[in-house]
């Protein structure tokens, strides 16, 4: 749904080089404009949008270095890549000084080119997203982005405000999709470090062997493929915040290195000997049971204690009372604007359906459900039929087996069966309380009463919210 990427601007006075760049990048799905001089390129840049510039160092007329210096001063956010005839540290320094984000020495492998271009594309996408978010809310990750009026969410926002002001390390725990990333971002945006970098690393997405060099950088020649020195993301985050997402997926050798880093902010790049030091605030998150990971010896207990100075425990969506309706409304507005649909709202029956679902994928699952419903819906309000049906089959199976579960009291077994019967009646009556009550030969009022007693959420009643937990 994101807007298409504008083209790459290629500047090279050699026709063959222009053509081969055009072919290679075109095959990768990038749109390309190629020109032969810096002068021509500057003219185009003034008229059209590009997501990056690739320039040869040596051009007829204005040189690649002077060209980049001009680009940098006019379009400071436009990433650029310089291609030099041969790799010497001096040329690399010149290229970077002139404002190139990266450089490639001829001859280069297509993969090297694609990697550099993909990085620029990602940067472009992030800048655009940030700009869009900022213009919408005034902040990148403000508290107002965290929707919810349940006691737990109000307490959470207050707690974020308090903790953000400190430099304390924070460990954010919670099931998948509960908003851990949102909280980490808010902690940075509300801190005194907000104008410095916020660097997020997903420890599960980067292969273990690369994660160390990503975090702490490497020296040239540290391993095959380390063709030049690379700064660590911790250096990028100096003065700011680093967010280590999915921390429980980090391997044990790196955990040891991280532990040392947390002791005094010092580290060495991979393959290096110099001890470096930075000042970063660390926020970490995981959706895994970290205590269990300690018990099974996958996670170092001493590292856990270092990270766990302040702990945020995000409640699953099913424990947030009527927030599910508020969130559904929030996502409806976002997607409605994006899709240009005129769907007015969510019908009361559909709200009832949202309220009684278990939401194992939490807010992310709800967001996806609303997006899909909006695509499908042809009425002016979202109807239950446009929302996904959850685990109906597994409930019917459970209904068939209504003997008490091992260790379950008669009372609890009866409640469980009663809850399941009501749930099925709601489903069969398309989440109309009136019709479900008729089917069960109850008045609407006594159905509501029973549901509330069973801790089932009912549209328009503020029940189903558990008492506030002692830890947020």
Ligand X SMILES: Nc1ncnc2c1ncn2[C@@H]1O[C@H](COP(=O)(O)OP(=O)(O)OP(=O)(O)O)[C@@H](O)[C@H]1O
- The dihedral built from the CA positions of residue 1, 177, 384 and 354, taken in this order, carries a sign that is negative
Question: Which residues in the 193-222 window bind ligand X by CB under 6 A?
Answer: none
Q: By CB under 6 A, tell whether 287 contacts ligand X.
A: yes
Which lies closer to Mg ion via its Cβ, residue 87 or residue 140? 140
Residue 469: half-sphere exposure toward Cβ, Cα within 13 Å: 12
Which lies closer to ligand X via its Cβ, residue 51 or residue 312? 312
Question: Which residues in the 367-426 window bind ligand X by CB under 6 A?
Answer: 367
Which lies closer to ligand X via its Cβ, residue 185 or residue 384? 185
The region of 122-130, 180-188, 224-232, 416-424 touching Mg ion under the rule CB under 5 A is 180-188
Q: How far is the CB of 21 from ligand X (least distance, A)?
A: 36
- Output the six-digit token pair for 120: 């620029």
Q: By CB under 6 A, tell whether 176 contacts ligand X.
A: yes
Total of residues contacting Mg ion (CB under 5 A): 1
Which member of 18, 124, 180, 193 binds ligand X (CB under 6 A)? 180
The region of 181-189, 305-313, 391-399, 463-471 touching Mg ion under the rule CB under 5 A is 181-189
Q: How far is the CB of 355 from ligand X (least distance, A)?
A: 17
Q: By CB under 5 A, tell whether 361 contacts Mg ion.
A: no
Query: Site mask, ligand X, residues 334-373, x = CB under 6 A?
Result: -----------------------------xx--x------
Q: How far is the CB of 205 from Mg ion (least distance, A)?
A: 11
The region of 19-27, 176-184, 213-221, 437-445 touching Mg ion under the rule CB under 5 A is 176-184
182 binds, among ligand X, Mg ion, none (CB under 5 to 8 A by kind): ligand X
Which member of 64, 79, 99, 179 binds ligand X (CB under 6 A)? 179
Q: How far is 431 from 253, CA to CA, in rounded Å? A: 53
The region of 23-31, 177-185, 222-230, 412-420 touching ligand X under the rule CB under 6 A is 177-185
| Neighbour tally for 281: CB within 10 Å | 23
Which lies closer to ligand X via its Cβ, residue 176 or residue 348? 176
Which lies closer to Mg ion via its Cβ, residue 93 or residue 126? 126
Query: Site mask, ligand X, residues 127-166, x = CB under 6 A?
Result: ------------------xxxx------------------
Q: How far is 79 from 119, CA to CA, in rounded Å? A: 9
Q: Is the peptide bond before 155 cis (omega within 30 degrees of 0)?
A: no
148 binds, among ligand X, Mg ion, none (CB under 5 to 8 A by kind): ligand X
| Phi, psi angle pair for 75, to nearest 5° | -130, 75
Which lies closer to ligand X via its Cβ, residue 166 or residue 176? 176
Q: How far is the CB of 245 from Mg ion (least distance, A)?
A: 5
Q: How far is 22 from 399, CA to CA, in rounded Å? A: 63
Which member of 181, 371, 381, 465 binds Mg ion (CB under 5 A)? 181
Contacts of 341 (CB under 8 A, 6+ apart): 335, 374, 377
Q: How far is the CB of 370 from ligand X (least distance, A)?
A: 11
* Rounded alpha-carbon distances, angstroms, from residue 71 to 8, 66, 309, 353, 413: 14, 9, 45, 55, 71
> Residue 186's Cα: distance from chain center in Å?
13
Q: By CB under 5 A, tell whether 288 contacts Mg ion.
A: no
Which lies closer to ligand X via its Cβ, residue 216 or residue 243? 243
Which member of 181, 214, 381, 465 binds ligand X (CB under 6 A)? 181
Q: Which residue is nearest to ligand X (CB)?
A: 179
> Residue 164's Cα: distance from chain center in Å?
19
Q: How far is the CB of 173 from Mg ion (least distance, A)?
A: 11
Contacts with Mg ion, residue ranges (CB under 5 A):
181
Contacts with ligand X, residue ranges (CB under 6 A):
145-148, 174, 176-182, 287, 327, 363-364, 367
């Amino acid at each position: 749904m994101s807007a298409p990427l504008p083209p790459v601007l290629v500047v090279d006075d050699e026709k063959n080089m222009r053509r081969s760049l055009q072919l290679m990048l075109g095959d990768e799905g990038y749109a390309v404009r190629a020109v032969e001089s810096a002068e021509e390129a500057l003219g185009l840049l003034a008229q059209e949008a590009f997501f990056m510039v690739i320039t040869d160092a040596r051009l007829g007329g204005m040189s690649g270095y002077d060209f980049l210096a001009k680009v940098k001063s006019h379009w400071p956010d436009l990433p650029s890549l310089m291609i030099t005839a041969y790799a010497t540290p001096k040329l690399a320094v010149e290229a970077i000084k002139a404002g190139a984000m990266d450089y490639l020495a001829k001859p280069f492998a297509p993969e090297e080119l694609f990697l550099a271009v993909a990085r620029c594309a990602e940067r472009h996408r992030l800048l655009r997203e940030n700009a869009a978010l900022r213009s919408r809310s005034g902040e990148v990750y403000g508290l107002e982005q965290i929707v919810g009026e349940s006691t737990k969410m109000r307490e959470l926002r207050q707690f974020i405000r308090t903790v953000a002001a400190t430099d304390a390390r924070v460990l954010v725990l919670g099931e998948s999709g509960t908003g851990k990333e949102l909280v980490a971002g808010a902690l940075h945006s509300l801190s005194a470090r907000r104008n410095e970098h916020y660097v997020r690393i997903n420890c599960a997405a980067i292969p273990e062997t690369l994660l160390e060099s990503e975090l702490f950088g490497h020296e040239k020649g540290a391993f095959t493929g380390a063709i030049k020195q690379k700064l660590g993301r911790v250096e990028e985050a100096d003065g700011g915040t680093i967010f280590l997402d999915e921390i429980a997926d980090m391997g044990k050798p790196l955990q040891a290195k991280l532990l040392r880093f947390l002791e005094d902010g010092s580290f060495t790049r991979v393959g290096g000997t110099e001890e470096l030091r930075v000042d970063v605030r660390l926020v970490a998150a995981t959706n895994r049971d970290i205590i269990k990971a300690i018990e099974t010896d996958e996670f170092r207990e001493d590292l856990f204690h270092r990270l766990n100075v302040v702990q945020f425990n995000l409640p699953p969506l099913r424990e947030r009372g009527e927030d599910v309706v508020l969130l559904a409304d929030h996502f409806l507005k976002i997607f409605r604007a994006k899709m240009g649909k005129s769907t007015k709202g969510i019908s009361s029956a559909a709200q009832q359906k949202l309220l009684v679902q278990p939401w194992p994928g939490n807010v992310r699952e709800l967001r996806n459900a609303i997006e899909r419903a909006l695509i499908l819906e042809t009425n002016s309000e979202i109807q239950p039929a446009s929302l996904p049906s959850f685990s109906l089959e597994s409930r019917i199976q459970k209904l068939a087996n209504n003997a008490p579960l091992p260790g379950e009291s008669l009372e609890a077994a009866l409640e469980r069966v009663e809850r399941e019967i009501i749930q099925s009646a709601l489903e069969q009556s398309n989440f109309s309380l009136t019709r479900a009550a008729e089917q069960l030969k109850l008045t609407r009022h006594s159905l509501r009463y029973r549901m509330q007693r069973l801790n089932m959420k009912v549209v328009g009643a503020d029940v189903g919210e558990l008492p506030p937990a002692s830890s947020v």
